[in-house]
Structure 1
Amino acid sequence: MTLSHEIIVVTGASTGMGAATARELAGRGFHVLAGVRRPQDAEALRSERIEPVFLDITEPAQVAAVAARVESDPLGRPLRALVNNAGIAVNAPVEALPMSDWRWQFEVNLFGHIAVTQALLPALLRSRGRVVNISSIGGKVAMPTYGAYAGTKFALEAVSDSLRRELAPHGVQVVVVEPGGVQTEMAERGATTAGGIAAGMTEEQTERYGDLVRAIVAHSAAFTRAGQTAEAAARIIAKATTARNPRTRYTIGRDAALMTRLSRFLPDRLLDRMMAADLRPHFPKPVTV
């Protein structure tokens, strides 16, 4: 069976890594169902082997519609893989982040992925396909103000381990990809959201965390600028999706490879000091009179 006769679903394909992954897999001959949320993103992606589908992974009707599209494929093509890539980043101190934002972060970054996986598992079990979950370096190490985001990624890592062990006897592989810095729009959107949340902090919270939030925003921007391109990240995701004998985990970027290793061996207090030192240059400079 040729590659053009296999389907891959990629969620969160409107921009960034998702769009680049859809194009990379299409270039390798797969028929990609690319999940988008806006008509303009659909038209930007549409090509001979990329079929945009409207998919908000928090909307059950849209998730069901994509599963129905896979089941009723006019050419009877099997589902080779699901790439769970959709995600958001909402960063703020644990004390200051509203509970609605905590819940929404988990709804998108964890429960949405589970919903799509559940919907497509019947097809993946028939084809002995693959689930690829896009986690993060934040799924191994949690920076200050990343409590909610890292919490979703730590949880996704655990769910992936459980799912891998459940499905291995049935021929379905589960792979985790852990990106470090990648040049996408997520950091910019996260900075905007963080600024809005910071503006709503109490006076006492601002005194405690204001400089930290500004440092994190500056650090995130620098981290993103120095990161991998979306296209380079997409090549690793495509490898995780198509390798005959994939590893259980892949990292993207030297920063991710280093931090995931250090997190396994270094004491927590030493990691705390390393993170504080990494953040220190990004704190606002004291005003001198």
Structure 2
Amino acid sequence: MTTSSETRKLIVVTGASTGMGASTARQLARHGFHVLAGVRRDRDADAIRSTGVEPVILDITDTEHVEALAARIADDPRPLHALVNNAGVQVNAPVEALPMAQWRQVFEVNLFGHIAVTQALLPALLRDKGRVINISSIGGKYAMATYGAYAGAKFALEAVSDSLRREVASLGVQVVVVEPGGVRTEIAARGITTANDLAARMTPEQNERYGSLVQANNQLMATGTASGLTADAAARVIVKAVTTRRPRTRYTAGRDAALIMRLGPMLSDRMLDRILAANLRRHHPKNATATAPRDERVVHTR
């Protein structure tokens, strides 16, 4: 798979500690690219370091980290072929119950951090006619209950991607969005734990309104990711977006994502509401009150 031209090219993959990001970094290295793999901790750097994969400590919300990454690329004579904006957090809670600090955190990581990295690396990408790959989600098109913050940031990322694509296409930079469905990575387990933590802080009135909904959504999340793509399979879609000479503007990853993206535009909002509600209803706890779990920890990998 390696070509002589690829061995001279750099690729940045953010959020490469585990899951899709780690798998994407390794697969791209096997294609002959030199991958700068963004991780947040030294132990993650030790785990990802391998031939063609150079870990860099990168919190995309930290200005100094982003500037250091840009300086590292500026000092390298190899062209920058692609930036893969993959880092992300999943936070699920009802709109009413999610504290504003968490709303801001989700948007800082899932939107503003990607914009900061993209701004910092665009001069190199413009010079080298590279491409930007933004990892969105089916949640970037359709927002389920308790996904307000996560989907809101992904909706915004989709819009920013469209705008950026139209700004830089004539300058030789391609912008691609990848929209995965359920993927078996650690983000699901962390998302369920966070959802339970947030539910434990809801007021009694909020518990009465949303507790059963939170439990149902956690079960749906666990079930959906259990039947989803492996991280390696999702990464292969990202690698295709990176390596294809003339990539599409959007790729789905997984049959669930492809089905939703195909059928969604054919349905009215009310019809889609009924379908999503019926699907979620199957996961509501039987013979239970609406009270959300206080100490439960669901362990599941995505």
Q: TM-score, normalised by structure 2?
A: 0.94
SS of the counterpart of 1:282? coil
Letter in 2 for 1:217: N
In the TM superposition, 1:114-153 aligns within 5 A as 114-153=115-154
Letter in 2 for 1:173: Q
Correspondence for 2:17: 14
Q: After alignment, is 123-132 or 257-266 more displaced?
A: 257-266
Q: Choose the corresponding residue for 2:57, options 44, 54, 60.
A: 54
Correspondence for 1:65: 68
Deviations 1:11-66 (A, max 9, x none): 00000000000001001110000000011110111112000000000000000000
Correspondence for 1:227: 228
In the TM superposition, 1:175-214 aligns within 5 A as 175-214=176-215
Q: Distance in 2 between matches of 1:15 and 1:79?
A: 23
Q: Structure 1 pair 287/5, CA: closer, same or farther in 2 (3 Å)?
A: closer
Unmatched runs of 5 consecutive residues or more in structure 1: none
Q: Distance in 2 between matches of 1:159 and 1:263?
A: 21
SS of the counterpart of 2:175? strand
Q: TM-score, normalised by structure 1?
A: 0.98
Identity %: 69
Do residues 41 (structure 1) and 44 (structure 2) align? yes
Letter in 2 for 1:227: G
Letter in 1 for 2:182: G
Q: Distance in 2 between matches of 1:201 and 1:153?
A: 25
Q: Distance in 1 between matches of 2:98 and 2:139?
A: 18
Do residues 271 (structure 1) and 249 (structure 2) align? no
Number of residue pairs aligned between Structure 1 and Structure 2 = 286
Runs (4 or more) in structure 1 with deviation over 3 Å come to none
Correspondence for 1:86: 87
Q: Structure 1 pair 100/29, CA: closer, same or farther in 2 (3 Å)?
A: same
Deviations 1:231-276 (A, max 9, x none): 0001000000110010000000010011112222210000001101
Correspondence for 2:296: none
Deviations 1:98-150 (A, max 9, x none): 00000010000000000000000000000100000000000011010000000
Deviations 1:135-176 (A, max 9, x none): 000001101000000000000000000000000010000000
Deviations 1:192-236 (A, max 9, x none): 111111000010100000000000000000011000000000100
Correspondence for 1:29: 32
Do residues 109 (structure 1) and 83 (structure 2) align? no
Q: After alignment, is 273-282 or 154-163 more displaced?
A: 273-282
Letter in 1 for 2:258: A
Q: CA deviation at 1:287?
A: 5.3
Q: Distance in 2 between matches of 1:237 and 1:153?
A: 17
Letter in 1 for 2:42: P
Correspondence for 2:298: none
Q: Structure 1 pair 263/287, CA: closer, same or farther in 2 (3 Å)?
A: closer
Correspondence for 2:294: none
In the TM superposition, 1:160-175 aligns within 5 A as 160-175=161-176
Do residues 243 (structure 1) and 244 (structure 2) align? yes
Unmatched runs of 5 consecutive residues or more in structure 2: 290-302
